[in-house]
Amino acid sequence: MAKLLPNDSPKLLDETHAFLAQKMRTPDIEIVRRAFDACRATRHTSCIQGMYLTGESGAGKSHIARGYAELSPPYQTELQKIVPILYVNLPEKSTSKAMIQRLYRKLTGLKRITGSEEEIQSRLISRLITCQTELIIIDEAQHLVRETSSVSAQHAADAIKALMDDEDGAGIPVICVGIDSAAELLTGKAKFKAEKQLQRRNRKLHRITSYAVGTANWQSLIEMYQQALGCKANLCTDNMLKRLHIATKGLFGNLTPLFKEAIEIAGSRHAITQKTLASAFEVFQPKNKLGFNPFDTTMSTIEMAITTQLISHNKDAA
């Protein structure tokens, strides 16, 4: 088999890159940003407040969190580097020490970090103060929670609490982002009631859900994609809004991958049709649990799927 030269390596279309580079604004984004602002404003006060942003995978939590951090990027002064917002994404099975190390690595750029958890935490707090950090965002926070142990969650909660402490810590709010199980950090099983302070140090828990079919928010989101794509297919008809909803489960995180595949198949954003979307769906969802393709089935099948979806949602909410 011939080796691929650098110029022969597989590449996405230029139009695909242009589409992926666009910053999509979900209907939830302004609400969550205001909540983030409210937390950030409490830094270095006697009432430092963090927050938990939860929701199912694909709802757009990470998109909002990363986007917020990008609004206040690090910058260099004559004397030092300033990091207004420190954003990290945790890997699976993270411990409290791994979290502290990751925060310190992201802040300093150091690859090798040695010392006990307490020593690293002390260095981290000093550097956070030096870098004038105002907010910490920990994404994929559910990886700090173990199904088999409440001890790891309590250790992580204690580490977060130590960073937020206005006397011995950095005095900085911490926002945790993750699926619903991440909220267990708020209710970790501490030995003494006095240790259960993290819950009191957090504002209202925000949960992002999938967008319901037929709502203004779902239509607003699809209108945004219609404008970004400028495609032949009218994505905003009642029929297409329903087809897209069944194809993506109403999740923001599923829309971009679907349209990315459609651009690659059509060769252009503007050339996307319903037939293109049907082909893209086969690539986007190779393990199709629906039993049909939402873009080439009848509307009666779509309506039946929506009804089933609503019944399932109501049962989960009960």
Residue 175's domain is classified under what CATH number?
3.40.50.300
Position 17 in a domain: no
Q: pTM, whole model, 2 decimals?
A: 0.86
What are the start-end ranges of the H helices in the chain? 14-20, 29-40, 61-70, 96-108, 117-130, 151-164, 216-229, 238-248, 252-266, 274-284, 299-317
Q: Tens-digit pLDDT profile for the chain (318 aa)? A: 556 555 667 889 999 999 999 988 888 899 999 999 999 999 999 999 999 999 888 889 999 999 999 999 999 999 899 999 999 999 998 899 999 999 999 999 999 999 999 999 999 999 999 999 999 999 999 998 865 567 778 888 889 999 999 999 999 999 999 988 777 776 655 444 444 555 566 667 888 988 999 999 999 999 999 999 999 899 999 999 999 999 999 999 999 999 999 999 999 999 999 999 999 999 988 777 888 999 999 999 999 999 988 777 666 655
DSSP output for 62-75: HHHHHHHHHTS--E
Q: Are residues 46 and 155 in the same domain?
A: yes
Domain stops at, among 155, 190, 208: 208
Q: Are residues 127 and 203 in the same domain?
A: yes
Are the C-beta atoms of 295 and 281 separated by less than 8 Å? yes
Give me the number of domains the chain comprises. 2
Position 129 in a domain: yes
Residue 261 domain boundaries: 212-317
Q: For 224-264, what is each residue's pLDDT tens digit?
A: 999 999 998 999 999 999 999 999 999 999 999 999 999 99
